Chain A
Amino acid sequence: MGTLKKYNGRLFTTEVLMVLVGLLFLVPFYFLFVNSVKPFGDIMTNSASWPAVFKWENYSKAWELTRFPQAFSNSFGITVVSVVLMALFAAMGAYWMVRSDTKFNKMLFFLFVAAMVVPFQSIMIPLLKVINVLGVNNSRTGLILTYLGLGAPMSIFLFHGFVKAIPLEIEEAATVDGCNPYGVFFRIVLPMLRPMLMTVIVLNTLWVWNDYLLPSLILQKPDMRTIPLATFAFFGQYTKQWDIALPALVLGIAPVIIFFLMLQRYIVEGIAAGSVKG
């Protein structure tokens, strides 16, 4: 739709207006960045101006005070392990639920779909009890385990729709050639799932990386803090000390912004694909 039209004056006006809207969307990032390098006094006198001096020490202070490298590696480790395992287990489960159409599997799939409307807040209180009983409170294992459970419904749902569209013939041919179900899945089906794997990985990465509430309930030790937890703790301590708080925020959002700019094609396509199925 649309692209068939010639580029005319009307379209040019639209273009200009949209660029203005785009700039409006970027204004918060402007404020964040310019003030993150100003001395405190300059932030207080004029927060809209371009910095007269660039005080990069703000950043080294924030880097040390938030213990950024530690928070980053915590976030990174937790996200990678949870997201990869989540995608693998969900793909396996969804594959078999489609291919083995038993009553049990049908009911199970219905349960997964129904669980998609359960808000996290409505199970979080007893969930913590379960985590305590299992003895994995205050540990990365406990957090990752929780993500594997919470992420299952949506990931299963996305893979389920995708597997249904894969023709059976290829798998049947492989079975005739003597391939067992595991070989069929790992050598034939999994590679074909790649587009949906990307979608599931992207959606879950953004969720796990940015999540605050769940890790705040499970991880209490300061040296285990993820970026959102470290930022929250830092903000409580340095309220209104904007010359350290703002560079800390820039550091906090930088990894995910870089991730997005590098992989934006996959991210945008993944979201479009994921929600059409939803």
Chain B
Amino acid sequence: MGNKKMARLGPQLVFVGPVLIFFTIIMIIPFLLGMYYSFTDWNGVAGTVTWVGFKNFQQIFTNDPDFWKSFWFTTRFTLVGVVLTNIVGFALAYFLTKGLKLRNVLRTVFFMPNVIGGLLLGFIWQFIFIKGFSTLGDLTGWSFFNLPWLGDAATGFWGITIVFVWQSAGYLMVVYISSLTNVPTEVMEAAEIDGANRWQMLKNIIIPLIMPAVTICLFLAISWAFKMFDLNLSLTKGGPFKSTESVAMNVYVEAFQNNRYGLGTAKSLLFFLVVAIITIFQVRLTKSKEVEA
């Protein structure tokens, strides 16, 4: 027995060792350090770090309107963005699995925005919103295009939302397609013979059967939306007047521009708790709705 254990120690170190070392240095230690620093006045530079107890959290909860503004912005953005991108992604997948001749080309087109990073996408869209939309406004006369895009809180919010949906819908579409092609044809045929219409089939058969994909797509979209940073930075930089600042950006600014690292880590700890609670809750909820064919 003891010999067998010893024989397994070598491979254990060789196989699991490397990944465990990187994981520990890069994730576990910083995570634990973060918990510690969130109770200190660390400023990132000074050698001395003083324990301040719950002062940082007290400040966040009682005297930090910008943080809560960013929290509210992120919440609204997540709700709207997640719903829209899932509807668009599912609709694209639904029609692409109907047997269209151009389905492969279309799939490529819809997926393409997703391979470009958020930062570059944001810069491309900055041009579209500022120059492209004003030209389209001149050509069509539609007041929609002549709004001050990215220049105020409302157009900033919708600007980021539009780009988010355009970027992420294609990815969710791929997940939905792979789930839709697994819906057994016999079930569909049986329903058709029984006289079910398209809407009934979608609502009562297809959607319940693809709930595993819905779980995944909601999970992905929520975590993308809640952690959104690159699009925020390249489209509005959080402005005007912090009206479109996401939580991720608020944490970033607190630490690296205001140099209040202690406060920043306290915020990031709260951020982690919220993300963890939401995702666990969502996965539980949608998993309970999954059924077998």
By a beta-carbon cutoff of 8 Å, the part of chain A in contact with chain B is 1-5, 7, 11, 14-15, 17-19, 21-22, 25-29, 31-32, 35, 43-44, 46-48, 89-90, 92-93, 95-97, 100, 105, 108, 111-112, 115, 117-127, 129-130, 134, 145-146, 148-150, 152-153, 156, 181-182, 185, 206, 209-213, 217, 227-228, 231-232, 235, 242, 245-246, 249, 252-253, 256-257, 259-261, 264, 267-268, 271-272, 275-276, 278
Contacts and interface: CB of A to CB of B under 8 A. Distances in A.
25 contacts: A1-B188, A3-B99, A18-B95, A18-B96, A25-B109, A35-B131, A92-B19, A93-B15, A96-B15, A97-B16, A112-B23, A120-B227, A121-B229, A122-B34, A122-B272, A130-B25, A148-B22, A150-B26, A152-B22, A213-B252, A228-B117, A235-B234, A253-B116, A259-B115, A275-B174
A1 B183 contact: yes
Interface of B: 8, 10-12, 14-16, 18-20, 22-31, 33-34, 37, 44, 92, 95-102, 105-113, 115-120, 123-125, 127-128, 131-132, 134-136, 139, 166, 171, 174-175, 177-181, 183, 185, 188, 212-213, 216, 219-220, 223, 226-227, 229-230, 233-234, 247-248, 251-252, 255-256, 261, 264-265, 268-269, 271-272, 275-276, 279-280
Nearest to B280: A117
A38 B6 CA distance: 70
A125 B34 contact: yes
A264 B114 CA distance: 12
Contacts of A96: 11-12, 15-16
A257 to B, nearest CB: 7
Nearest to A46: B135
A122 B124 contact: no
Nearest to B106: A22
Contacts of B120: 210, 227-228, 231, 249, 252-253
Contact of A257 (B96, B112, B185, B220): B112
A257 B115 contact: yes
Nearest to B111: A268
Contacts of A253: 116, 120, 124
Nearest to B134: A47
A249 B102 contact: no
A212 B117 contact: yes
Given A47-B131, A96-B11, A232-B234, 17 more contacts: A15-B101, A93-B16, A119-B271, A119-B272, A119-B275, A124-B252, A126-B265, A130-B30, A145-B25, A149-B26, A210-B115, A212-B117, A228-B119, A253-B120, A257-B112, A271-B174, A271-B175
A178 to B, nearest CB: 15
A123 B20 contact: no
A121 B251 contact: yes
A92 B18 contact: yes
Nearest to A93: B19
B15 A4 contact: no
Nearest to B250: A121
Contact of A152 (B23, B119, B128, B216): B23
Contacts of B15: 92-93, 95-96, 181, 185
A243 B286 CA distance: 48
B26 A278 contact: no
A272 B177 contact: yes
A127 B263 CA distance: 15
